[in-house]
Structure 1
Amino acid sequence: MWCGDGWTARVIKNEDDDGWAVAMIKDGEPEPALVGPWTMGRDKKNPKPLDGQAFSTLVKTASEFVRRHEQQLHATLHQSLEVDCRGARITVSLDIVADEDNPSALLSAHDEAGEQLAQVRVPPAFKLNRASATAWADRGFAKP
């Protein structure tokens, strides 16, 4: 086991086969952010010892994995696109608040200068696409 840079690397028995795995746990998190295969030692029974260089590589890999996951989650919860409406270019955005007890979403429209034209609450399952954004704008931003 190695700790540092906000991470803990722990070599564990791989439950899927006879080998070993390494779990990367971010400080303060209850579950590993990343679990991957780990190399067997020379005796082909025990894991290869974890060293500083391997730990640094694992921290870099796990950090990148977490960063990509966060970017994907942000992209899912905050969407926007541009549409033409009555000769003007508007940006329509959908911002989802992923609350387990009371999820919600806001649909908003802004003009080219960034001024808000409209904002309405919609179900979190609302599908934002070019057709739904254009239809909303064409209806004068009435609640979909």
Structure 2
Amino acid sequence: MTDFTPFTPDAAHAPDDRPKIQEPRLWSGDGWTARVIKNEDDDGWAVAMIKDGEPEPALVGPWTMGRDKKNPKPLDVNAFNTLVKTASEFVRRHEQQLHATLHQRITVTANASRVTVSLDIVPDEDHPHALLSAHDDAGERLAELRVAPSFRLNRASAVAWAESDFARPVAR
């Protein structure tokens, strides 16, 4: 897809006090901007949903042709509200998935005790790593160490780490 120019809000206006734009191919409000763009992959149109302050669209999807079968259907309040809801849900699910990927937790029984083992990945561009930690039922930290971000936390690795008295896991 081409014909995408990011919408950058005026720095003097916060998202809440920025005037709403309601044009056939550009709507803005509620922290979002919808821009109808030409889909260069075919003869159709697409709509890009951009969250205020973000450089890239959060969601791009097909857009309906108008009655003349050449131009896009104009945006309206109902379509914009539906697009905002869809894009917001998409962003929320993406954030939840990212959080679940970066922060894993499992509770196991090892050495006759219940231990909660956590793996928190730090996606640093220069030095990515993860923190592997263990806590008892009372929440007291039993151990913590830095491991590779590729460390696989599962029931077997958690039990093995706890049963080794939290010795550094062997890289595989």
- TM-score over 0.5 for the alignment? yes
Structure 2 residue aligned with 1:17, among 42, 62, 65?
Answer: 42
Partner AA of 1:78 in structure 2: H
CA distance in 2, matches of 1:128, 1:15: 44
TM (normalized to structure 1)? 0.98
Structure 1 residue aligned with 2:121, among 84, 96, 101?
Answer: 96
CA distance in 1, matches of 2:54, 2:127: 24
Partner AA of 1:47 in structure 2: P
Deviation by residue 1:29-88 (Cα, 9 ceiling, x = unmatched):
111000011000000000000001110100000000000000000000000101101111
How far the C-alpha of 1:120 sits from its partner, in A, is 0.7
**SS of the residue aligned with 1:91?**
strand
Report the aligned-residue RMSD.
0.6
How far the C-alpha of 1:11 sits from its partner, in A, is 0.2
CA distance in 2, matches of 1:15, 1:122: 45
Give aligned pairs, total. Answer: 144
- The answer to whether 1:81 aligns with 2:106 is yes
**SS of the residue aligned with 2:117?**
strand
- The answer to whether 1:2 aligns with 2:27 is yes
Structure 1 residue aligned with 2:80, among 33, 51, 55?
Answer: 55
Q: Report the counterpart of residue 59 of structure 2 in structure 1.
A: 34
How far the C-alpha of 1:101 sits from its partner, in A, is 1.0
**Gaps (5+ residues) in structure 1?**
none
Q: Report the counterpart of residue 136 of structure 1 in structure 2.
A: 161
**SS of the residue aligned with 1:43?**
coil
Partner AA of 1:101 in structure 2: D
Structure 2 residue aligned with 1:67, among 61, 79, 92?
Answer: 92
Q: Report the counterpart of residue 68 of structure 2 in structure 1.
A: 43
CA distance in 2, matches of 1:71, 1:44: 39
Q: Percent identity?
A: 80
How far the C-alpha of 1:15 sits from its partner, in A, is 2.3
**SS of the residue aligned with 2:34?**
strand
Partner AA of 1:76 in structure 2: T
The 4+ residue runs of structure 1 with deviation greater than 6 A are: none
- The answer to whether 1:105 aligns with 2:130 is yes
CA distance in 1, matches of 2:101, 2:168: 22
Deviation by residue 1:82-137 (Cα, 9 ceiling, x = unmatched):
11011111100000011111111100001111111110110111010111111100
TM (normalized to structure 2)? 0.82
- The answer to whether 1:125 aligns with 2:171 is no
